[in-house]
Structure 1
Amino acid sequence: MRTIPAFTLSRVAIAASLAVAGLQAQAACSLPDARIHQVQGNGPQSPMQGKTVAVQGVVSSLLYGKDGPVGFFIQEAPQNQDADPATSEGIYVYTGKLALPALKAGDVVGVRGKVLEFSRKGDASSETQLQPSAAADVQLCGYQGELAPISLRLPLSGDAAQLESLAGMAVKFEQPLFVIDSYNYGRYGELALSSQPRQWVPTQLYRPGSAEAKALRAANPRDRLLLDDGKTWQNADAWLPGPGGLSAANTLRVGDRLDGLTGVVSFSNGAYRVQPLYLPQVSAANPRAAAPARKAGQLRVASFNVLNFFNGDGLGGGFPTERGAKTRDDFLRQKAKIVSAIRQLDADVLGLMELENDGFGPQSAVKELVDALNAGQDADKQYRFVDPGLPRIGTDAITTGMLYRPSRVKPDGAAQALTVGDPAKNRLSLAQTFAADGKKLTLVVNHLKSKGSSCEQVKVNGAPDADTGDGQGNCNLTRVQAAQDLVRWAKQRRVSSKEGLLVMGDMNAYAKEDPIRAFEDGGLSNLLARFQKDAYSYVYQGESGNLDHALADASLTKWVAAAGEWHINADEPTALEYGSEFKSAAQRQNYYAPDAYRSSDHDPLYVDLQLVPIAGADEMALGMLGLAGLLAWRRRK
């Protein structure tokens, strides 16, 4: 340890230092040389940028780092505010590691600091801040002040100046708000909120490029805001729902309601956000649902995107894999959740997407999944996987798969791996015909090209396949071509009236987009649109829609008794997934359960078929029921 020599101060020096400290406190608390609204100005940046000023204000909220406060927000007392709505009366004081006095909401403080505009590289806006250079530049004035939050409502005006004029100020929402996205909740503490229980992808409801789709695209951003957690570090314990915060058993779902939200408007990481003053009241407005019940005598067909189910080398090693789990332990956690979901879904035939494309041998991913599903199950609940007789299905890292229960259906003929569209861009589809109850069902499982893929250099029928900006994303023409090829394949089949076709899977297209229209124009009935009022299977950037679809030909449509999604994944926080990354040891334990919830990012779909006529009814009556449902669906459209 280094020894610092002692020294003494004269009485004059001590008195002088105390006088300086007293003058600083007096200057900060009694003689501010600027009001906060003057520092903020009425534009996007401060007119006093770079100057050192003294202000006085009421503490509204502290911002915390791992080791304690790193800054705080102050607001001008009501009697000192100006009449200009374009100027903010609040400001953030960044103190970093300075030793601050113990601050709490309502304290009046004087602050001397340099006026700066803080932003990250690439941010379109910045946050006006005061940065004191020493702890003595922050002085408690010894009394309490009034903090009067401003009422704010969603939707916003759409003008960034609205939130800029409130930056650093306390606001309150007297309307209920709803969670519409929790993707960044576990890692960054962020929740996207709206005045509506759910925001819809425009092309889920309207045709791409239509006036309605454009209007909804413009309206959605105005009707949302980010709620932050008042913390500046990643992977802090998720704080809602209170009082204990997020856990596997205490979830916070899209559609859940928040009342009494009060917080401070801030700007960071490229976005305006609200830092909470205290816990809002959370209501489970969208509670978890049990697995959809099925009726005796019906046949259930389902599809499920299993979120990159990769089992390494199949012998316990080979991790991390190209996709999926990074460790063996994480894979076991993933497998337990997938098995739980599939068992509860209780499908007789099941299409899968995002399986590891490693064949059908003893160490394959599909074999390991089937073995796990069958372990300890009665014979009538056990599965087999469909093997098309190929080493692998296509060349992509992921593939489609199919499981079935021999106790309920029997394969009729060999499975087929179908080339659809450009084989360099589209994964192969998997088709298998089954016999059940005197009828035949052909299931085709698909996973069409993703919206985020690059197709800029691709041409389909001479047209470039880049994103056109109509909401359908990249590779739309590639997906349309695949859908049209599937329709042509279906029409070329020679089948009897006792054989039906069901096309299921992750189409990477929303309900009103061109690929789904190609299926419908080809004579396939959109079962989710018919049986569900508001179908969705996926939430992306706060907007909901169904990328996953079930489409039936005319024969099979007559047998459909029900169709829908089981909302176990899309609405749940990503923090509840199996992965251990970006989680503390306690979070890995608290956020995880070997249950179905957040077993994937897509919700599974199901279609229940009544193949055998109901006692007392004939096929004509069943057909009339199907027709009535179809007419009702058309009226809704």
Structure 2
Amino acid sequence: MPSKSSTRLAALTVAAVCSAASAVALTSPAHADSVRIHDIQGTTRTSPYAGQKATDVAGIVTGVRAYGSSRGFWMQDPHPDDDPATSEGVFVYTGSTPKVAAGDSVTVTGTVSEYVPGGTSSGNQSVTEISRPSITTLSTGNAVPAPTVIDARSVPSAYTPPGDPAANGSINGLTLRPSKYALDYYESLEGMNVRIGDARVVTATDRYAELWVTVKPHEHPTRRGGTLYGSYDSQNTGRLQIQSLGASADFPVADVGDTLTGTTTGPMDYNQYGGYTLVANRIGPLVSGGLQRETTRKQSRGELAVATYNVENLDPSDGTFDQHAAAIVHNLRSPDIVSLEEIQDNDGAKDDGTVAADVTVNKLIDAIAAAGGPTYDWRSIDPVDDQDGGQPGGNIRNVFLFNPHRVSFVDRAGGDATTAVGVTKVHGKAHLTASPGRIAPADGAWTDSRKPLAGEFVFRGRTVFVIGNHFASKGGDQALHSRYQPPTRGSETQRHAQATLVNAFVKSILDVQKNADVVALGDMNDFEFSGTAKLLEGDGALWSAIKSLPKNERYTYDYQGNEQVLDQILVSPSIRRGCHLAYDSVHINSEFHDQISDHDPQVLRFRP
């Protein structure tokens, strides 16, 4: 995820920012001496007065942001027009702590501008602002305009209009239809005082003192209180981010399924990290939903339990080893094979050429044993320094842990960071040319990305091929709330190439041995309905076993109010046809504010 260090470097006028992409007309009236806020906001996402000076714009201060680099205040016209598309609120960017307070009646003279959080290359929408202001306080202690209620009735079920093909897919120049599209509805409230009533938390409080609620409690609910992202057409319009104008120490510490009760009120903002946001000057009391971390069942003697777990940049300096160990032993019930992602080298993010990770892995193994689990053995391949992406200097890689009392590893020499593993036929059975080995490590599909780790295991006399994966991240994709609709998912290109290679490797095993047991698992960084998953499954070589779960249980990650699948375990036909396949997405992290990783581990049990 990108850093949240604030910057105003992207604060530019629409004239410079949105030009052709948003088709903004700068042929507005020559004089802006008597404009009202709703005139400045206009009926599209960008102001018809962008780049012009507006004089004596009147309003009542509804909220003050006195921290960070985006200091300023919101004001609202207490005398609205009758057009639902035009917002009556606007943010006044001061750049320093404002000398106004809520309830002040003010006039502002300044330049109308469009600020794009995250910069224009992000694809984000812009926020209409008045910058370089001259402020006159007329009176104090006035009633703040009554907040507009946001609830299940007011938010449309359709998420966004399609973008204008003549403007590269931008929705900036389209007339807002707040009764038809949720993004238009939220935009029509930009800068205004709004409120929500009782609202269920659908993304837990994070370290930046923000959380997500839904104002639509019946919109694709998960079994445990979240909101499911089940397709590209299911963006979940009731999601809304909540931040606070107060001290972060006073922000509620919430988990998924908790409820903000009563009334939460404040200005409607738009930011880089989630889009439309209620910046609360009043937050309703938090009522706990009592959510508990899940525990899966123990595998039987004849079942092989295989798990995948992204331990999020684990290095020897971390304080989470005991927690990860407890999760593996108690919540995952000590799987026979655990494919780990994001194991860092022995000195973590120190970029000094170190690539070995034996200290990291053995520290985890020792912690697992101390927690009452087995003494795992392990296999991995050290990457070439700084070639596998992730945190610079960290050299994250995939690692296999396995319980040697339950499963054995077939060691076959020849695997290293740059040598491609292959498949041979020996006595009618498929064998890896190297075990462990890496799949096509020189292929451009793996540039700045983790190379899959393939290994050959034996359980109760039967060989099982396991492929640990960590595909390229979704970083850089345009957000669901982007000004470009549909948003571009540029990172898919690399994952599609990666999925194609893994699918081809699995087919090379099945070509030699049709009934081979193959498990490809890991952080695929893509959904079970995605093009990446379809390519992995191509021609029936694999099947994503999370699809064996009811839809309201299919999630491994929680992002901006959408619970979704990023981690998957895919199996070959011989395993899928078996009568004893059991899958569990073990929810121990994604729904909780005190998570030790942002991913939930996955466990598959089957009888080879």
Fold match (TM-score > 0.5) = yes
Is the CA contact (8 Å cut-off) linking 2:260 and 2:283 kept in structure 1? no
Distance 1:47 1:537, change over 3 A: closer
Residue of structure 2 equivalent to 1:64:
66
Distance 1:286 1:503, change over 3 A: farther
Could you tell me how far apart the structure 2 residues matched to 1:181 and 1:45 are?
Answer: 35
Does 2:467 match 1:445?
A: yes
Could you tell me how far apart the structure 2 residues matched to 1:365 and 1:144 are?
Answer: 60
Does 2:229 match 1:229?
A: no
Render the CA deviation track for 1:177-220: whole Å, top value 9, x for unaligned.
543586xx42374647563345555xx64xxxxxxx4xx0xx52
Does 2:186 match 1:186?
A: no
Distance 1:348 1:131, change over 3 A: same
Give the match's secondary structure for 2:82. coil
Residue of structure 2 equivalent to 1:114:
109
Residue of structure 2 equivalent to 1:464:
none
Residue of structure 2 equivalent to 1:587:
none
Residue of structure 1 equivalent to 2:571:
552
Residue of structure 2 equivalent to 1:595:
none
**Residue 53 of structure 1, CA deviation:** 1.3
- TM-score, L = length of structure 2: 0.65
Residue of structure 2 equivalent to 1:536:
555
Residue of structure 1 equivalent to 2:539:
521
**Residue 605 of structure 1, CA deviation:** 0.9
Render the CA deviation track for 1:28-86: whole Å, top value 9, x for unaligned.
xxxx98765456555642759424316353x433333279x954434344xx4333334
Could you tell me how far apart the structure 2 residues matched to 1:383 and 1:170 are?
Answer: 56
**Residue 604 of structure 1, CA deviation:** 0.9
**Residue 99 of structure 1, CA deviation:** 7.7
Once structures 1 and 2 are overlaid, which stretch shifts more, 172-181 or 294-303? 172-181
Could you tell me how far apart the structure 1 residues matched to 2:326 and 2:278 are?
Answer: 37
Residue of structure 2 equivalent to 1:263:
266
Amino acid at match of 1:128: E
Does 2:53 match 1:53?
A: no
Q: Aligned to 1:307, which of 312, 333, 336?
A: 312
Q: How is 1:274-285 mapped onto 2 (pairs within 5 angstroms)?
A: 274-284=278-288
Distance 1:238 1:490, change over 3 A: farther
Amino acid at match of 1:338: H
Could you tell me how far apart the structure 2 residues matched to 1:40 and 1:362 are?
Answer: 55
Distance 1:606 1:46, change over 3 A: same
Structure 2: runs of 5 or more not aligned: 1-32, 161-175, 177-182, 347-353, 389-394, 413-433, 477-486
Residue of structure 1 equivalent to 2:457:
433
Could you tell me how far apart the structure 1 residues matched to 2:342 and 2:144 are?
Answer: 56
**Residue 476 of structure 1, CA deviation:** 0.5
Is the CA contact (8 Å cut-off) linking 1:117 and 1:127 kept in structure 2? yes
Q: Aligned to 2:494, which of 451, 466, 474?
A: 474
Distance 1:336 1:133, change over 3 A: same
Q: How is 1:283-432 mapped onto 2 (pairs within 5 angstroms)?
A: 283-284=287-288, 287-294=291-298, 297=301, 298-311=303-316, 331-344=317-330, 345=332, 346-356=334-344, 363-374=358-369, 376=370, 381-386=374-379, 396=388, 397-411=395-409, 414=412, 416-421=435-440, 423-424=442-443, 425-426=445-446, 427-432=451-456
Amino acid at match of 1:447: N
Residue of structure 2 equivalent to 1:621:
none
Render the CA deviation track for 1:350-387: whole Å, top value 9, x for unaligned.
2222334689989543233223322x355x72222247
Q: Aligned to 1:502, which of 511, 519, 530?
A: 519
**Residue 505 of structure 1, CA deviation:** 2.3
Is the CA contact (8 Å cut-off) linking 2:41 and 2:128 kept in structure 1? no
Could you tell me how far apart the structure 2 residues matched to 1:468 and 1:129 are?
Answer: 30
Give the match's secondary structure for 1:83. coil
Distance 1:472 1:428, change over 3 A: closer
Could you tell me how far apart the structure 1 residues matched to 2:489 and 2:133 are?
Answer: 46
Is the CA contact (8 Å cut-off) linking 2:517 and 2:572 kept in structure 1? yes
Does 2:603 match 1:603?
A: no
Could you tell me how far apart the structure 1 residues matched to 2:88 and 2:105 are?
Answer: 15
In the alignment of these two chains, the number of paired residues is: 478
Distance 1:264 1:99, change over 3 A: closer
Amino acid at match of 1:487: K
Q: How is 1:569-584 mapped onto 2 (pairs within 5 angstroms)?
A: 569-573=589-593, 576=594
Is the CA contact (8 Å cut-off) linking 1:451 and 1:476 kept in structure 2? no
Does 2:241 match 1:220?
A: no
Could you tell me how far apart the structure 1 residues matched to 2:138 and 2:304 are?
Answer: 73
Distance 1:82 1:512, change over 3 A: closer
Could you tell me how far apart the structure 1 residues matched to 2:563 and 2:599 are?
Answer: 11
Give the match's secondary structure for 1:512. coil
Give the match's secondary structure for 1:167. coil
**Residue 444 of structure 1, CA deviation:** 0.4
Could you tell me how far apart the structure 2 residues matched to 1:361 and 1:99 are?
Answer: 52
Render the CA deviation track for 1:559-613: whole Å, top value 9, x for unaligned.
635211112233345xx4xxxxxxxxxxxxxxxxxxxxx22232211123467xx
Q: Aligned to 1:149, which of 130, 147, 150?
A: 147
**Residue 301 of structure 1, CA deviation:** 2.3
Could you tell me how far apart the structure 2 residues matched to 1:540 and 1:473 are?
Answer: 21
Distance 1:421 1:287, change over 3 A: same
Is the CA contact (8 Å cut-off) linking 1:400 and 1:446 kept in structure 2? yes
| Percent identical residues | 21
Residue of structure 1 equivalent to 2:82:
83
Could you tell me how far apart the structure 1 residues matched to 2:127 and 2:475 are?
Answer: 32
Could you tell me how far apart the structure 2 residues matched to 1:503 and 1:34 are?
Answer: 61
Residue of structure 2 equivalent to 1:24:
none
Structure having the higher helix fraction is: 1
Could you tell me how far apart the structure 2 residues matched to 1:468 and 1:115 are?
Answer: 35
Is the CA contact (8 Å cut-off) linking 1:526 and 1:552 kept in structure 2? yes
Amino acid at match of 1:265: M
Query: What is the root-mean-square deviation in Å for CA atoms of aligned residues?
Result: 4.3
Is the CA contact (8 Å cut-off) linking 2:527 and 2:533 kept in structure 1? yes
Could you tell me how far apart the structure 1 residues matched to 2:590 and 2:579 are?
Answer: 28
- TM-score, L = length of structure 1: 0.63
Could you tell me how far apart the structure 2 residues matched to 1:282 and 1:444 are?
Answer: 44
Residue of structure 2 equivalent to 1:565:
585
Is the CA contact (8 Å cut-off) linking 1:190 and 1:229 kept in structure 2? no
**Residue 239 of structure 1, CA deviation:** 4.7
Could you tell me how far apart the structure 2 residues matched to 1:564 and 1:421 are?
Answer: 30
Distance 1:292 1:284, change over 3 A: farther
Residue of structure 1 equivalent to 2:508:
488
Is the CA contact (8 Å cut-off) linking 2:54 and 2:112 kept in structure 1? no
Give the match's secondary structure for 2:368. helix
